[in-house]
Amino acid sequence: MIRITLPDGTAREVARGTTPADIAAAIGPGLAKAAIAARVDGELRDIMRPLEADAQLALVTTRDEADALELARHDFAHILAEAVQDLFPGTQITFGPSTDDGFYYDVMAPASRGPFTMDDLPAIEEKMRDIIRADKPLRREVMARDALIATWQNAGESFKAEWAAELPEGEELSVYWSGDDWMDMCRGPHLASTGKLDPAAFKLTRVAGAYWRGDQKNPQLSRIYGTGWLNKKQLDAHLLRLEEAAKRDHRRLGQDMDLFHLQQEAHGSVFWHPNGYLIWRELESYMRRAIDGAGYKEVKTPQVMDARQWEQSGHWGKYRANMFVIPDEVPNVDDEGPVISGEADWMALKPMNCPAHVLIFRQGIKSYRDLPLRIYENGCCHRNEPHGALHGLMRVRQFTQDDAHIFCREDQIVEEVQAFCALADRVYKEFGFTYSIKLALRPDQRFGSDSDWDKAENELRDAVVRAGLATPEYGWEELPGEGAFYAPKLEWHLTDAIGRTWQVGTIQSDRVLPERLDASYVGEDGARHRPVMLHRAIFGSYERFIGILIEHYAGRFPVWLAPVQAVVATITSEADGYAHDVTAKLKAAGIRVEADTRNEKINYKVREHSVAKVPHLLVVGMREAEEGKVAIRSLGSDGQRIMTLDEAIAMLSHEATPPDIR
């Protein structure tokens, strides 16, 4: 007999080999029906898997949504693989995990037919529904490793065989049978049968290439994605959320609102239109006020530097493939022969600002009294990104960072990092974001000694702990191997208005570059010391931050950021004169306002400016002209507010003032 303890503290003596399903049945028929899995000593398990020893048992039902979704998605993935193999014999299966909103399975299509495409999805979906309707039992079986490898080899499943062969010898390998005719190697757990899934609660969404085991050198597989839920209602809600997110797409809104454009002659670099650049300018002004207040000095450094400088910093060796290089010579002007000789020295467009800031630091002799020295730049950088990585404003080849480097003594690091945490906190909150903080630890390939990495990681962790931010509430997490080659990174991940996260801010504690570029200061003791260099950014890049803001606000910018803050729209041309007076007064008050005196109906003007997401529409007809008033219709509300012109100016001026100086 074994002793099974339930969540309410009661215990039951049952025979070894009893399943959680048996126990559920013993408790009551309702629970027996509702239970879909079990947590055994905290581990999620099949409801049909026999209990072998004393354990804490909690039965999982569909009301335990996170667990239930995880199980369902994992099952959907298996059924997807089974359906694909059923429809396309010769397809090899590899892996199929659950994801945040569903599942995928990586398969290798038979050589005869080529990769799968979207056109294959409807048939696969239908076959999946057949399998679900057939209510095939999902049965766990433990196999000896060698037997399993042989099974895979016989079945022509070379990927599965390769993986099984790499698992530790003697490990208990579980497989799951779907009925008696299909099997996959899997840790589980699974639902008791395919019929536990709702055939209307999933949808295959796309097909894409993915490398076997995530390595570019390996063969590329077809990854079939699906979204999977517990019922159709959840699926529909999810599809609706996707539609909402698509409406916020910064590329679409950027075009609709005439903010910027991209074109192939300069792909990956942004053409900012007047409206978009107004947002940029407001952000720049905002950031200047922030860094001025925080004791930074702003600089401007060269776009192009000798390649030797990048060799010394270590970037040439590691990132040359993504740098724009320029021969330092006069191009051949004859019609004959190549334009470039290929013999000149190389220069490179700067991919980052750090080395240039070190060069500024190195001018003159620095004393410990000069530290911390905080050097800021709106630094325009170029990186020749892989073409497939480019994405609207989010990943571009020319971008401007709100970049600063704090040169400080070791004993100043924690204090500086803490001050940065406070600054970042203020900025993100003023834009309406919540955030989480992560610490990215040393990568495998890195410069610098382990003891320096120990110090650097501890300092960053320490500062966050002292700032009181190393808590679950702030999503505190350490990410092994994710740091930069020269320093560990603290990362700020913003959560936007619809719950998506974006990594933007960072601060990195670097002892490598000061060493490589020979930065030093004279200490109290009269000797030379290395400063530590803190790399930090809050927006990350203006391009990307604006992209995030567009999606965060869904184009409805707060008044202080809105390119056009108000439009004065006339109802009849008799009010044109008054409209121009109102417009002039608002302009004099510093409001970005336009007059719309076109010969159009007020309905048309309301619609057009609403679609254009202008925050305030000031409607004026003869009534307002005679009374010296305006009828304000604000974006997002149907009604109007009648107020005097002075009241309107006071209200708009307040809203148009940036939050940091309001």
Residues 456-485 that bind RNA (CB under 7 A): 484-485
**DSSP secondary structure letter of residue 98:** B
Q: Tell me which of 391, 409, 455, 466 binds RNA, using CB under 7 A.
A: 391
Q: How far is the CB of 546 from RNA (least distance, A)?
A: 15
Of 95-114, which residues contact RNA (CB under 7 A)? 114
The nearer residue to RNA, 76 or 286, going by C-beta atoms, is 76
Closest approach of RNA to the CB of residue 187, in Å: 20
> Diameter of the chain by CA atoms?
95
Stretch that binds RNA, among 72-80, 165-173, 472-480, 631-639 (CB under 7 A): 631-639
- For 455-485, letters b (16+ CB in 10 Å) and e give bbbebbbebbeebebbeeebbbeeeeeebbb
35 touches RNA (CB under 7 A) = no
CB of 608 to RNA, least distance (A): 7
Return the SS3 of 162.
helix
Contact flag: residue 389 with RNA (CB under 7 A): yes
Name the residue type at position 7. P
In contact, 439 and 464? CB cutoff 8 Å: yes
Q: Which residues are catalytic?
A: 354, 383, 401, 403, 405, 489, 535
Instruction: Quote the tokens at residue 373.
Output: 């020295």
Q: Decide: 214 and 58 in contact? Cβ < 8 Å.
A: no
- For RNA, which is the closer residue by CB, 56 or 117? 117
List, in sequence order, every residue forming a beta bridge with 503; answer none if it has no partner. 493
Q: Which of residues 510-569 bind RNA (CB under 7 A)?
A: 535
Of 27, 32, 175, 390, the residue at the interface with RNA (CB under 7 A) is: 390
The dihedral sign for the CA sequence 532, 533, 537, 540: negative
CA distance 367 to 377: 22
CA distance 600 to 619: 13
Nearer to RNA, 55 or 537 (CB): 537
3-state secondary structure of 137: strand
**Residues between 586 and 615 that touch RNA (CB under 7 A):** 599-604, 606-607, 610-611
* Binding residues for RNA restricted to 318-337, rule: CB under 7 A: 319, 322-323
Q: How far is the CB of 280 from RNA (least distance, A)?
A: 20
| Closer Cβ to RNA, 32 or 208, answer by number | 208
Minimal distance, residue 103 CB to RNA, in Å: 13
Window 199-228: residues binding RNA (CB under 7 A): 206-211, 214-216, 220, 222-223, 225
Nearest approach in angstroms of CB 153 to RNA is: 26
Could you please report the per-residue DSSP string of 379-430? EEEE----GGG-BTTTB-SEEEEEEEEEEE-GGGHHHHHHHHHHHHHHHHHH
225-244 residues near RNA, rule: CB under 7 A = 225
Contact in structure between 521 and 380 (CB atoms under 8 Å): no
Residue 641: CB minimum distance to RNA, A: 9
Q: What is the DSSP letter of 487?
A: -
Using DSSP, state whether 213 is helix, strand or coil: helix
Structure tokens at 609: 């400016």
Non-local CB neighbours of 188 within 8 Å, separated by 6+ positions: 45, 46, 49, 140, 174, 176
Contact at 8 Å (CB) between 141 and 175? yes
Which window, 14-22, 64-72, 84-92, 629-637, contacts RNA (CB under 7 A)?
629-637
Binding site for RNA (CB under 7 A): 114-115, 117-118, 206-211, 214-216, 220, 222-223, 225, 251, 255, 262, 264, 267-268, 315, 319, 322-323, 351-352, 354, 383, 385-392, 395, 484-485, 535, 571-574, 599-604, 606-607, 610-611, 617, 619-624, 631, 633, 635, 638, 640
